[in-house]
Amino acid sequence: MPDVDRSLSALAPALAETVRIAGDVALKTFRQPLRQWIKGESSPVSEADLAVNEFLQERLLGLGSGYGWLSEETEDDPARLEAENVWIVDPIDGTRAYLAGQDDWTISVALAARGRPTLGAVFAPVSQELFLAVAGGGATRNGVAIAASAGSDVVGAKIVGPKRHINWLASLNANAIPMPRIGSIALRLARVAQGVLDVAFAGGNSHDWDLAAADLLVHEAGGALTAITGEALTYNGSELVHGALLAAGQERHATLVNLVRNHPELA
């Protein structure tokens, strides 16, 4: 394991406290009447998303000087491309779940440098689960170390993802076990880091803010999150949208990438 950057370790408690308080901000209007609308073609947003975003921006940028900022709910500022360290934020990941009064939404925050996350937190306010990772320092859930599930076999693996990926595996007689959908992509991936899920797919059109924090969690828990054909993900570039993705423990991830490469109709 590489040495842990002491500055990141020192920053981690402040990040943990910040996302917990942001969770309280979101819970104030959870299951309450609130303004909501559609941005773009079909993406829901609410006054809760904006309130949490405002709180996080003030707190996180106040932790030091020179940070860049990239958030789903803030107009993109190209200055982030020149910043050495960039906060990548989804104030409420799983807004549809939040607006529906469901439990499976999160607050997702990562700090990235040179295209990769170095510090990440995914907080599920309803269940009070805080997933935290520091590059080189492992991943935890509520302070307890977590690890992605071991093994290379897909048979019997607990899997979450779009229906077409599940059906594709079934067509190969892989006999994985489909699990209920999780509204927050970040939480879906955190469950892989935790070992509760063995495999998670994402169907495409995920953005940096959906993935960066959970990406670090999965890798620090001994797993891998990549494009479905195995390429590593990079963040804070000019292109923020990612294609189909795959997360699993290292050995199972390798098995699935080989399946995709041998049966490219999925990719």
In 57-138 the beta strands, taken as DSSP E runs, fall at 67-71, 85-93, 106-113, 116-124, 129-134
Most confident region among 36-40, 146-150, 168-172, 260-264 by mean pLDDT: 146-150
Q: What is the pLDDT of residues 230-259, one digit of tens each?
A: 999 999 999 999 999 999 999 999 999 999
pLDDT at 1 (0 to 100): 34
Rounded to whole angstroms, the Cα distance separating 52 from 22 reads: 6
Confidence bin at 267 (pLDDT 50/70/90): low
Spell out the domains of the chain, with CATH numbers in brackets. 6-145 (3.30.540.10), 158-262 (3.40.190.80)
User: Does 2 score more than 50 pLDDT?
Assistant: no
pLDDT level of residue 174 (50, 70, 90 thresholds): confident
pLDDT given for residue 13 in this prediction: 96
User: Among all chains, which residue has been given the structure tokens 């910043």?
Assistant: 83
Tens digits of residue pLDDT in 63-81: 988 999 999 999 999 999 9
pLDDT at 4: 61
